[in-house]
Amino acid sequence: MKKILISEWVPEECLAPYKEDYDFTCPSREKHAFSYDEVYEMIEDYDAYFILDNEGDKKVIDRAKNLKVIANFGVGYNNIDWKYATEVGLPVVNTPTTVTEATAEHAVALLIATMRGVARYDREVRRGVWNSPNFSDIDCEVYGRTLGIMGFGRIGKMVCKKAQGLGMKVIYFDKYRASQEVEKEYNVTYMSFDDVVKNSDCITLHMPYIPENHHIFNAEVFRAMKDSAYLINAARGPIVDEKALAKALKDGTIKGAGLDVFEDEPNVEPELLELDNVTLTPHIASCTLKARMGMCREALGGIIGVLEGKKPYNVVNPEVLK
């Protein structure tokens, strides 16, 4: 019976369909998670490793002599050394479809909360401050504004539809431009990266974290944005230079930001914590029970598919599959 190691507790109903044929090891609900060191000690004899909030680096991969597949709980997989995995012929699985709706919703929630100052007003009311001016330009309505979407994949497209429902005009940039048919279907305008930066009232990030995107939003880009513009990041933290963002927010280079992801989670740039014009959430864009259960099933489906000699759609390096 093939053995599957899971780094964190998952609901029994996700495992139940496979338990007759596969041997699962995961921590109890009370323990919650295995540490990196615990995983390293155990991984040697396992056929598959399902990662929730842990790492699959070269050290772990080399230790896992029997490993046939490694999966991540999320769309991104930068916590896995997937390039090395590819070199050694190890398939890497992600969860590209089941996070879409929840993540897009949260990105739009951050957008509204940030542009309308929801979190700031909440904090003020709790402190006994009743800040209700008749005329103020501290916040702005979403309707009629231009949203720039950076990365027009599944989540970017879903955000587009939701933003248009709020009355926003949508422009986008993606390394791989969509077809004319898709642009017509979504009623969006393609622009260069620089033009999206310059023309957007709010920019939302939905690009993958790859080396070329490291700190792609930096001090120079913030200076090129409108001083009335907002930035939303529900993609990956290192896409944004947090120190430069904190300075831009503090200096008024841009008006506000909403962040669900950070460079060094769970640590947050201290200056961001002191600013009122930023809304912060702890990497929970996909955190609905429906989405998380779906992610678990999607990852396990990919794992089982590989172990059964199939070619699952959610293998990110399919070239290693024979």
Q: What count of other Cβ atoms lies within 10 Å of the Cβ of residue 60?
A: 20
Q: What totals of helices (H) and strands (E) does the chain contain, helices first?
A: 13, 12
Has 283 been annotated as catalytic? yes
Phi-psi region of 228 (alpha: psi -120 to 50; beta: other; left: phi over 0): alpha
Has 32 been annotated as catalytic? no
The answer to whether 70 touches 51, Cβ cutoff 8 Å, is yes
> Could you give the CA distance from residue 213 to residue 47 in angstroms, rounded to a whole number?
33
Active-site choice (141, 265, 274, 308): 265
Has 265 been annotated as catalytic? yes
Q: Which long-range contacts (CB under 8 A, 24 or more apart) does 171-175 make?
A: 171/146, 171/147, 171/195, 171/196, 171/199, 171/200, 172/148, 172/196, 173/148, 173/149, 174/150, 174/207, 175/207
Active-site choice (106, 120, 145, 236): 236
Active-site choice (154, 215, 283, 297): 283
> Which residue numbers are catalytic?
236, 265, 283
